[in-house]
Structure 1
Amino acid sequence: MIRWVIFIVVYLLLTIYGFQAIRTITKATWIHVLFFILAVLVFGNFIYQFTLPSQGRVLTPGKSYAFGFLLTYMSFLLVMIPILIGEDIFRGVSSLYDRFFTTKEDFYFPERRKFISQVAMGLAAIPVASLLYGMYKGKYNFRVIKHTLFFEDLPQGFEGYKITQISDIHSGSFTDYEEIQQAVHMINEQESDAIMFTGDLVNNTATEMDRWKPLFGSLKAKDGVFSVLGNHDYGDYVEWKSNEAKHQNLEDLKKVHKDMGYDLLLNESRYLERNGDKIALVGVENWGRGGFTKKGDLTKASEGVKPDDFKILMSHDPSHWEDVVLHDPYHYHLTLSGHTHGMQFGVEIPGWVKWSPIKWRYKYWAGVYNELGQYINVNRGLGYLGYPGRAGIWPEITVIELKRKEQNS
């Protein structure tokens, strides 16, 4: 209860302070009324959605959108208010200086205040427009990102081998069948040798896939579709009636993989063969730093794999690569991960800028990285969770082509 009280007080204070900018810019009463109506609707919907009975931390589409609109409104205030506070501090300090050290009258220029308020609102409109676009279109703005990686010891038979990686489907968040159908079409359109899915098929429960199973079951590749589990697949964020019910949910989800024709690797390995050569594909269960499920067992998964085999590892959380894989005696040539979503928000201009707040939590958060002669690709995710959209960090389909070369490039 105390958290709700604090939240209400903070929300009210920010709204009142933000209104000062609105009032400075325009005296139109209908605009003032509209501002408060929007503030009440956003707040009321959020309170309503998040006080509805639910199982644990389940985010229904209603809750997700309530959070999204609250986030959008708060971003408006939190960009604008520091600018207004800065102006107030400057005006206050200047007024005190003039009072004690000069003979000037009180330092106050209404036109300056109006100009500052206009600038603040203009800047605040940028994240607002981005977040609204992210909820309306950005979450379905699917991008195919292609990488060519070079390895000195890639078996000759796998020269030009193409892998399509997808990750973090989060089917419980989807609402638009036609948009997801287009994403599946884009994946199949790559005509890759193998499709590799790196976890988080659902938000919480296996039943979330009931509507989507036929669609994602239509994914096809020459060597098949391979998959691993992510942290959300274990049902850890739901209040279950019993441990047996939670266990059954996981077994049901494993069956979903099987029904769709996915080869689910549970701390296991497979060999892919091509033109008389072979490479090892290793898949671990989720292993994540910072309180996330740690069921991944790299040693067990690599049983039967030789040290000099060319190895591809599927591991949902990139912190596993950083904390464990890089330091393992085996050399895992390429690791495929997801999990971060790129926070679903950021700025990316290829060759110029790649930034998201998620970088403060994960060193390896999006794209290809190379450490100690080993590669990792962190997929930005196909779906979304929490904020029901994507702004600047678009849903990703990765295509990786393996090439043999004497030196990496």
Structure 2
Amino acid sequence: MIRLLFFVAFVLLIEVYAFQAFRTLSKIKWVQYSYIILSVLILGYIIYSFTQFDRKIGQTPSTLLTFGLVLLIYIPKIILTLVMFGEDFYRIISGTISHFLGNTDRSSFLPERRKFVSQIAIGVAAVPFLSLLYGMTKGKYNFKVIKQTLFFSDLPDSFDGTTITHISDIHSGSFDDPAKIQYAVDLINEQNSDMVLFTGDIVNTHASEMHPWVDTFKKIHNPKFGKYSVLGNHDYGEYIDWPTQKEKVDNFEAIKDLHRQIDFKLLMNENVKLKSGTDEIAVVGVENWGKSFKKAGDLVKASTGLNQNDFKILMSHDPSHWEYEVKNNEQNFHLTLSGHTHGLQFGIEIPGFIKWSPVQYVYKQWAGLYENLGRYVYVNRGFGFHAYPGRVGIWPEITVIELKKAEKVA
């Protein structure tokens, strides 16, 4: 009950202040009433949608839309509230000073609201509104190909120049535009890499989410060294309440089989050796291991038959695995490929100048390339989207990594 009262008070505060800004700009009554009616209808829809959420089903297109509306409407209104509240603070201070100085020219203790402040508030609030709206309509499919070249002195000669296309976090249950997904698959194929590696979260929860997209993802070309994948935290079906344990197990088995259906070799704490001439490297795949999520990954089991000197590419969905278990591991994993964070699907990236997202306060490695003592982790920003049905500043990513032989330092 206390939480409900707090929520109601919070929403009322935001709505009242947002209306104050709007009313300062427009004195036309029908415009004001239209704003109030629209705000009530949107709030009513949001509340209704949340009451219909079913823990046995999980995320649906309706919940995606609802969460998007919450961010789209209330982040700008919170900004309006902060600016208008700041003006009220100024008005109270100004009124108090005038009162004690004996200024009686005003009919009210508080000075009137200033129109230019409301204009500034609405102008500032328009930035996140338009950004979030773009993210929901265009940004979520604004695929970017990001290329990296990495140098290793112990890379076998025959693999010098080998290219890897890395994708992660498909989240097929969120898709709503077949043409855009086909475009992204075409982009993957255009890279013409030597192998394609997918680091987990093929669905949000249910295997059936991928069924409409199997034929599309099956079109990803099978390159020279093959296509390999691992599981992500969402692939275990642990974020809903299943009617029976059997249904959960059956869904998990069906999710694993999805990888076969799109012609990817799913690595479950195991490795494969890729041969080129007399040289070979290993692709190692672990189940999900996360600091705050399921810990099914087993590096020891996955490294069976390998030694410290083997050149190894590790696929591990959650980058916290690299931070806590991989980067100093005696097995010497040269390159780890991860995803999971999505870059929170929100942030600011200007290459060479700034890379920021709130997710960086949770994950040390959250987007792009990181290095420790010559060992690397690359965190893909994700192919799909989840929860918020859009992306702002952190675009969906297809990564292309080229492995190059570095000269040994004498």
The interval holding the TM-score normalised by the smaller chain is over 0.9
Counterpart for residue 8 of structure 1? 8
Distance, in Å, in 2 between the alignment partners of 1:407 and 1:92 is 70
Distance, in Å, in 1 between the alignment partners of 2:46 and 2:401 is 41
Which runs of 5 or more residues in structure 1 are unaligned? none
Give the aligned length. 406
Task: Give yes or no for contact 1:99–1:105 (8 Å, CA) kept in 2.
Answer: no
Counterpart for residue 37 of structure 2? 37
Task: Give yes or no for contact 2:172–2:210 (8 Å, CA) kept in 1.
Answer: yes
Distance, in Å, in 2 between the alignment partners of 1:340 and 1:90 is 41
Does the C-alpha gap of structure 1 residues 46 and 407 become closer, same or farther in structure 2, counting only changes over 3 Å?
A: farther
Distance, in Å, in 1 between the alignment partners of 2:104 and 2:227 is 77
Paired residues for 1:214-225 under 5 Å: 214-220=215-221, 221-225=223-227
Counterpart for residue 94 of structure 2? 94
Aligned residue for 1:226, secondary structure, equals strand
Distance, in Å, in 2 between the alignment partners of 1:71 and 1:382 is 21
Aligned residue for 1:212, secondary structure, equals helix
Counterpart for residue 345 of structure 1? 346
Task: Give yes or no for contact 1:166–1:398 (8 Å, CA) kept in 2.
Answer: yes
Q: Read off the aligned partner of 2:28 and give its amino acid letter.
A: A
Aligned residue for 2:212, secondary structure, equals coil
Counterpart for residue 266 of structure 2? 264
Does the C-alpha gap of structure 1 residues 225 and 4 become closer, same or farther in structure 2, counting only changes over 3 Å?
A: farther
Per-residue deviation, 1:84: 1.2
Per-residue deviation, 1:85: 1.1
Counterpart for residue 125 of structure 1? 126
Q: Deviations over 1:216-254 (max 9, x none)?
A: 111122211100000000000121122121111111111
Aligned residue for 1:210, secondary structure, equals helix
Counterpart for residue 249 of structure 2? 247
Q: Read off the aligned partner of 2:242 and give its amino acid letter.
A: W
**Is residue 234 of structure 1 aligned with residue 240 of structure 2?**
no
Q: Read off the aligned partner of 2:200 and give its amino acid letter.
A: G
Q: Deviations over 1:241-276 (max 9, x none)?
A: 221211111111111111221110000011111232
Counterpart for residue 196 of structure 1? 197
Task: Give yes or no for contact 2:383–2:398 (8 Å, CA) kept in 1.
Answer: yes
Point out the more displaced range, 93-102 or 295-304.
93-102
- What is the percent sequence identity of the aligned residues? 52
Q: Read off the aligned partner of 1:401 and give its amino acid letter.
A: E
Paired residues for 1:370-409 under 5 Å: 370-406=371-407
Distance, in Å, in 1 between the alignment partners of 2:202 and 2:2 is 35
Counterpart for residue 75 of structure 2? 75
Q: Read off the aligned partner of 1:316 and give its amino acid letter.
A: H
Distance, in Å, in 2 between the alignment partners of 1:203 and 1:125 is 31
Aligned residue for 1:196, secondary structure, equals strand
Distance, in Å, in 1 between the alignment partners of 2:369 and 2:53 is 42
Distance, in Å, in 2 between the alignment partners of 1:53 and 1:119 is 37
Point out the more displaced range, 32-41 or 95-104.
95-104
Counterpart for residue 281 of structure 1? 283
Does the C-alpha gap of structure 1 residues 369 and 22 become closer, same or farther in structure 2, counting only changes over 3 Å?
A: same
Task: Give yes or no for contact 1:235–1:250 (8 Å, CA) kept in 2.
Answer: yes
Distance, in Å, in 2 between the alignment partners of 1:104 and 1:370 is 67
Distance, in Å, in 2 between the alignment partners of 1:53 and 1:21 is 33
Q: Deviations over 1:269-297 (max 9, x none)?
A: 1111123211111110001112x111011
Q: Read off the aligned partner of 2:237 and give its amino acid letter.
A: G
Distance, in Å, in 2 between the alignment partners of 1:336 and 1:177 is 27
Distance, in Å, in 2 between the alignment partners of 1:225 and 1:52 is 40
* TM-score in terms of structure 1 length: 0.95
* TM-score in terms of structure 2 length: 0.95
Q: Read off the aligned partner of 1:386 and give its amino acid letter.
A: A
Distance, in Å, in 2 between the alignment partners of 1:280 and 1:319 is 22
Distance, in Å, in 2 between the alignment partners of 1:386 and 1:57 is 14
Distance, in Å, in 2 between the alignment partners of 1:367 and 1:407 is 26
Q: Deviations over 1:127-173 (max 9, x none)?
A: 00000111111101111011111111111111111000000000011
Distance, in Å, in 2 between the alignment partners of 1:361 and 1:394 is 19
State the Cα RMSD in Å: 1.7
Task: Give yes or no for contact 2:94–2:110 (8 Å, CA) kept in 1.
Answer: no
Q: Read off the aligned partner of 2:310 and give its amino acid letter.
A: D
Task: Give yes or no for contact 2:317–2:337 (8 Å, CA) kept in 1.
Answer: yes
Paired residues for 1:35-74 under 5 Å: 35-52=35-52, 54-56=54-56, 58-74=58-74
Task: Give yes or no for contact 2:345–2:391 (8 Å, CA) kept in 1.
Answer: yes
Task: Give yes or no for contact 2:94–2:111 (8 Å, CA) kept in 1.
Answer: no
Which runs of 5 or more residues in structure 2 are unaligned? none
Aligned residue for 2:39, secondary structure, equals helix
**Is residue 161 of structure 1 aligned with residue 185 of structure 2?**
no
